[in-house]
Amino acid sequence: MWWSNLFVGMSPANFFNFSFLPKYLSFFVQGVEYTLLLSVVSVALAVLPALALALMRLSGNKLIRGISGAYIAVFRSTPLMVQLYIIYYGLFGLIKIPSSVILGFIDVSRFIPGVTALALNSSAYVAEIFRAGILAVDKGQTEAARSLGLSAWQGMRLVVLPQAIKNILPALANELVTMVKESSICSVLGMSELIWGAKTVASTTYKTLSPYVLAALIYFAINYPASKAIEAVERRMRRGDKQ
């Protein structure tokens, strides 16, 4: 049958043939460094806009609430790749960034648009995390703050937000784990993250399976332990609540 040809060459030896590693290991090491830097910077930049969006969503003003809701809806309902292309070719087609290399392998003219797209996308999701964390704080805390003479903003900043952070941190850490995977989309811009490294090795060595298998194993080695560590922190926090 014609479809049997799809499986030709897909032996375990082809999946795990890492004979290219001695020569091309640097592509994967650099890819991991780039991926982690891209993920951490993107989530860090998403936090403040996300907090502003969450507070806007909780506002009593319909216009402010509508603007925030529209932003979140647009970025959560459209593909990240489309957002990346629009920001790279649209926004940064108008704003020219000089092509310069930092840390030896990061092209600023590609890194900044990539980080911007990831941060804008992530802020829509992190905003909902903030909003849920704030709403999880007992309303009596806000009433107590107002009874002490604090303004609405002071009550939010000094009473509600510090308590909400406890609810937010595990979900925010999960967003970082998710971003490690989603940052792979930046390979379409030629950014030398992990998938770009695997793609380059595959096209150079003509080993079309094993470089991607190795990339998948590296992602797993990063994300699975991180996810388990987050779960352990969440369990400890829940035990603290019970006590």
Q: DSSP labels for 149-166?
A: T--HHHHIIIIIHHHHHH
CB atoms within 10 A of CB 209: 16
Under DSSP, is residue 99 helix (H, G, I), strand (E, B) or coil? coil
Over the chain (243 residues), the average pLDDT of each successive run of 10 is: 44 69 88 91 92 88 92 93 91 77 74 92 92 76 66 67 77 87 88 88 86 92 89 73 53
Distance CA 126, CA 86 (A): 21
Distance CA 238, CA 169 (A): 13
Distance CA 24, CA 178 (A): 27
Number of domain units in the chain:
1
Domain that holds residue 140: 23-242
Distance CA 62, CA 66 (A): 6
Q: Is residue 238 part of a domain?
A: yes
* Exposed / middle / buried, residue 150 (Cβ in 10 Å: 0-12, 13-18, 19+): middle
CATH of the domain at 232: 1.10.3720.10
Q: Is residue 18 part of a domain?
A: no
Q: Is residue 180 part of a domain?
A: yes
pTM of the model: 0.82
For 76, the enclosing helix (H) or strand (E) is helix 62-77
